[in-house]
């Protein structure tokens, strides 16, 4: 059995990790940590775990946890992982970081967008960006995985085939994304109080969201040239889900079937990417509680633009589910192990 430690288990992504890993047939959750709920039973924080996970939350140094587990999941805000992860720690355990500290390869870009000193920049080169469908060969055998962000996962998967095959003008990419409130985390904030966000939709962090350089980095790698995008996130009054609608100019006219073949080239054999039938477009309700990413597109012949839509569950494929998928790759397990759930409906 793979011995697992979960750091930051009482956030939304952390509790989803607990939910998935206690049901994983090859795992034993040995430690769950929380600074906010030390010595409290996990089931007292999340009532869905009553009689399932009765362990108490502990606080323990990451290096000490690493000595007792095979893999350490870190579900904490940016800046904390980089201050605690070291080459010494990585000798003891593999690390899957759900935060942003190891996603951005250029330390200057990280400093600019996150306004935090990176405490272990020497590890950036050995960290692998864990977007499983695109990076699985790089993930295998590594010690440090940077689990992608939720907006990023959906945006990159939606656009990757077009960028990789050179079908679009890369300078014309616009990403319009909408997320459920769980994407803001569990900490109290006036903007996510019920009366503040219910019956309303708003754009936020316009031209300033920290997932922007992450999307640009990975699309630039795919294209072999620097890509700069417009990215605008929106908050919508639902619990889970992300819908990305991306726009770009086609370099030349193309039929739906021609573009469809490009998407199928990369995704037809992917367990968790569903290319929907022509004329059927992604909806967040059909992926909730699952590791699936649904994708489709429409070609606007009048403007010669392509409109690509993708959707994921931000807590599952956008965080915990993808982290478990990364673990499965690291330990040579079938990728679907422990995350092969049919989306739940209604929810």
Annotated active-site positions, please? Answer: 150
- 3-class SS of residue 234: strand
Q: Find all residues with CB under 8 Å of 342, minimum gap 6, and list them.
A: 290
Count Cβ atoms within 10 A of the Cβ of residue 43 and give its class: 0-12 exposed, 13-18 middle, 19 or more buried.
Answer: middle
Q: How far is CA 226 from CA 110, 207, 221, 223, in A?
A: 17, 18, 8, 8
Task: Determine how many CB atoms are found less than 10 A away from the CB of residue 56.
Answer: 14
Burial string for 215-246 (b: 16+ CB within 10 Å, else e) reads: bbbbbbbbbeeebebebbbebbebebbbbbbb
**What element of type H or E holds 12?**
helix 12-21
- Residues 134 and 96: beta-carbon distance below 8 Å: no
Pairing of strands 71-74, 94-97: parallel
Tokens matching residue 340: 């092969």
Measured CA to CA in angstroms, residue 121 lies from 45, 107, 125, 192, 206 at distances of 35, 7, 8, 33, 28
The DSSP-derived string for 16-72 is HHHHHHTT-TTEEEEEEE-SSSTTSBHHHHSGGGTTT--PBPB---HHHHHTT-SEE
User: 300: helix, coil or strand?
Assistant: strand
**291-318 in b/e burial notation, b at 16+ Cβ within 10 A?**
bbbbbbbbbeeeeebbbbbbbbbbbbbb
The rounded distance, in Å, linking the Cα atoms of 42 and 326 is 25
């Amino acid at each position: 059995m793979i011995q697992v430690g979960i750091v930051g288990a009482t956030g939304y992504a952390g509790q989803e990790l607990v939910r998935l890993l206690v049901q994983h047939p090859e795992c034993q959750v040995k430690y769950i940590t929380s600074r906010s709920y030390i010595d409290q039973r996990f089931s007292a924080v999340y009532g869905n775990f009553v009689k399932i996970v009765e362990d108490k939350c502990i606080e323990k140094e990451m290096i000490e946890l690493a000595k007792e587990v095979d893999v350490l999941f870190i579900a904490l805000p940016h800046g904390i992982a980089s201050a605690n992860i070291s080459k010494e720690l990585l000798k003891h355990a593999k690390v899957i970081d759900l935060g942003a500290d190891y996603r951005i390869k250029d330390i200057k870009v990280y400093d600019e967008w996150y306004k935090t000193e990176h405490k272990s920049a020497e590890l950036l080169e050995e960290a692998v960006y864990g977007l499983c469908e695109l990076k699985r060969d790089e993930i295998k055998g590594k010690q440090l995985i940077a689990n992608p962000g939720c907006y990023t996962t959906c945006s990159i998967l939606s656009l990757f085939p077009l960028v990789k095959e050179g079908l679009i003008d890369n300078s014309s990419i616009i990403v319009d994304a909408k997320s459920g409130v769980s994407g803001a985390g569990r900490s109290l904030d006036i903007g996510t109080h019920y009366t503040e966000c219910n019956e309303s939709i708003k754009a936020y962090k316009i031209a300033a969201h920290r997932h922007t350089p992450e999307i640009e980095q990975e699309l630039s790698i795919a294209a072999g040239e620097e890509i700069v995008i417009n990215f605008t996130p929106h908050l919508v009054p639902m619990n889970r889900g992300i819908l990305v609608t991306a726009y770009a100019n086609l370099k030349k006219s193309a039929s739906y079937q021609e573009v469809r073949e490009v998407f199928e080239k990369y995704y037809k054999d992917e367990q968790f990417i569903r290319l929907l039938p022509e004329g059927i477009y992604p909806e967040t309700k059909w992926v909730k509680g699952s590791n699936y990413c649904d994708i489709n597109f429409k070609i606007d012949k009048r403007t010669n633009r392509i409109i690509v839509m993708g959707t994921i569950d931000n807590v599952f494929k956008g965080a915990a589910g993808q982290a478990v998928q990364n673990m499965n790759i690291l330990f040579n397990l079938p990728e679907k192990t422990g995350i092969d759930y049919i989306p739940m409906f209604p929810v």
